[in-house]
Amino acid sequence: MTNIPEADLLPITASLSDDGRLAIGGCDVRKLVEEFGSPLYIYDEATLRGMCRDFVGGFADEYPRSHVEYSSKAFANPAVARIIEEEDLDMDVVTGGELAVAMAADFPAERLNFHGNNKGREELEEAVRYGIASITLDSHHEIDLLSDVARESGVRQKVMLRLSPSVDPHTHMLTATGILDSKFGFSIETGDAEHAVEQALAQEWLEVEGLHFHLGSPIFELEPYSEAIDYVLRFAADMRDKYGLDLQRFSPGGGFAIGYVTDTLPPSISAYAKEIATAVRSGCDRYGLDEPELTVEPGRAIVGRAGVAVYTVGGIKTIPGVRTYVSVDGGMGDNIRPALYDSEYAVVPVDRPNAVRDVVTTVAGKYCESGDVLARDVELPALEPGELLALPASGAYCLMMASNYNMQTRPAVILVNDGQSRLIRRRETYADLLAPSLDLD
| Catalytic positions, written as ranges | 368
Q: What is the DSSP letter of 266?
A: P
Tell me whether residue 296 or residue 326 sits nearer to ligand PLP (CB atom).
Answer: 296
The residues in 278-297 that bind ligand PLP, with binding defined as CB under 6 A, are: 297
Read off the amino acid at residue 16.
Answer: L
Least distance from ligand PLP to the Cβ atom of residue 248, Å: 18
Is 254 an interacting residue with respect to ligand PLP (CB under 6 A)?
yes
Position among 21, 67, 274, 300 found at the interface with ligand PLP (CB under 6 A): 300
Alpha carbons 408 and 246: distance in angstroms, whole number: 51
The residues in 109-138 that bind ligand PLP, with binding defined as CB under 6 A, are: 115
Alpha carbons 213 and 300: distance in angstroms, whole number: 17
| Dihedral over Cα of 46, 51, 52, 54: its sign | positive
* Distance from the first to the final alpha carbon of the chain: 58
Position among 299, 307, 338, 353 found at the interface with ligand PLP (CB under 6 A): 299
Tell me whether residue 25 or residue 255 sits nearer to ligand PLP (CB atom).
Answer: 255
Is 73 an interacting residue with respect to ligand PLP (CB under 6 A)?
yes
Stretch of residues binding ligand PLP (CB under 6 A), selected from 71-79, 223-231, 311-319, 356-364: 71-79
Is 176 an interacting residue with respect to ligand PLP (CB under 6 A)?
no
Q: What is the DSSP letter of 289?
A: P
User: Judging by DSSP bridges, how do beta strands 249-251 and 206-212 pair with one another?
Assistant: parallel
| Dihedral over Cα of 197, 202, 206, 209: its sign | positive
Residue 423, number of CB atoms within 10 A of its CB: 13
The residues in 206-245 that bind ligand PLP, with binding defined as CB under 6 A, are: 214, 217-218
Q: 363: closest CA among 354, 344, 355?
A: 344
Tell me whether residue 217 or residue 312 sits nearer to ligand PLP (CB atom).
Answer: 217
The residues in 49-68 that bind ligand PLP, with binding defined as CB under 6 A, are: none
Residue 248, classified by CB atoms within 10 Å of its CB into exposed (0-12), middle (13-18) or buried (19+), is: middle
The residues in 343-402 that bind ligand PLP, with binding defined as CB under 6 A, are: none
Position among 13, 15, 71, 421 found at the interface with ligand PLP (CB under 6 A): 71
Tell me whether residue 74 or residue 276 sits nearer to ligand PLP (CB atom).
Answer: 74
Q: 89: closest CA among 59, 63, 128?
A: 59
Least distance from ligand PLP to the Cβ atom of residue 138, Å: 9
Position among 74, 101, 193, 236 found at the interface with ligand PLP (CB under 6 A): 74
Read off the amino acid at residue 48.
Answer: L
Binding site for ligand PLP (CB under 6 A): 71, 73-74, 115, 214, 217-218, 253-256, 297-301
